Structure 1
Amino acid sequence: MESFNDQTLKKLVSDRGGEFLNHQFQNLCEECGFEHLKSPAETPQHNGFSERANQTILEKTCCLLNGSNLSNSYWAEAVNTATLLRNLVPTPSRLNRSPYNIWEGSPPQIK
């Protein structure tokens, strides 16, 4: 696993979805040297932060597509845009800093 911004992944927390419980994914975890922690089955409340983040991205994606009258063939691009917007916008819960600002150490340069 490549480091990004001098940060390396140490732990990954996921639900018990099939995409995380196969040998290929387990081998990737071992090869890259990070620990895979699994939340208990059928307990989305244990993944509350991730579940809410995914819901927010889904809502923004739907708004982008509906507001622009684009077809669902643009779904992937709309998801990427919604995620970018979420990462650039500051929020009070993060002391009015954006995820980008927290990760990079400075606010994004938007022109």
Structure 2
Amino acid sequence: LRSKDETPKVLIDFLRLVQRELQAQVRVVRSDKGTEFLNQTLHAYFAAEGILHQTFVARTPEQNGIVERRNRTLVEAARTMLSAAKVPLFFWAKAISTTCFTQNRSLVIPRHKKTPYHIINDRKPSVKFVHIFGSTCYIVRVGKILTK
């Protein structure tokens, strides 16, 4: 998100995607009391869809422990990847994206004995194309006319 003003549209689009792909109704959305979550647009959408919006007290991460732990795991893994690959912090966003990608395809949810990717897409993920973060790569140009 470039600004907090984009939050309602992005969140509504995400909730619609989840409901369509999982064919399940979102029943509860939990958030802090940030102004990006407390507005007429989201309030009207939640009311129309029958979604309960629960808020927790600001600056109390213990009330949102699961999300805080997930974010901490992503940040620590990304930091480790950057350090191990010896790449500059410029690649921070790519490291976070890669970490999320790999964890969604590798962390097993004990209750289902499946990865998050498997649960959402109803098929096991393919990781054949995954390489070590920061590894050297080369561009191969295939074609009849190759110029310098």
Q: TM-score range by the shorter chain?
A: 0.7 to 0.9
Whether contact under 8 Å (1:12, 1:35) holds in the other structure is yes
1:99 aligns with 2:113: no
* CA RMSD, 1 decimal: 2.5
2:53 match: secondary structure: strand
Task: Work out the CA distance in 1 between the residues paired with 2:95 and 2:43.
Answer: 29
CA shift for structure 1 position 109: 2.2
Match of 2:41 among 14, 24, 27: 27
**TM value normalised by structure 2:** 0.59
Structure showing greater radius of gyration is 2
2:125 match: secondary structure: coil
CA shift for structure 1 position 41: 2.6
Change (3 A) 1:91 1:72: same
The alignment of Structure 1 onto Structure 2 pairs a total of residues equal to 108
Task: Work out the CA distance in 1 between the residues paired with 2:78 and 2:43.
Answer: 30
Q: Percent identity?
A: 29
Task: Work out the CA distance in 2 between the residues paired with 1:50 and 1:74.
Answer: 23
Whether contact under 8 Å (2:33, 2:57) holds in the other structure is yes
Whether contact under 8 Å (1:29, 1:35) holds in the other structure is no
Change (3 A) 1:17 1:62: farther
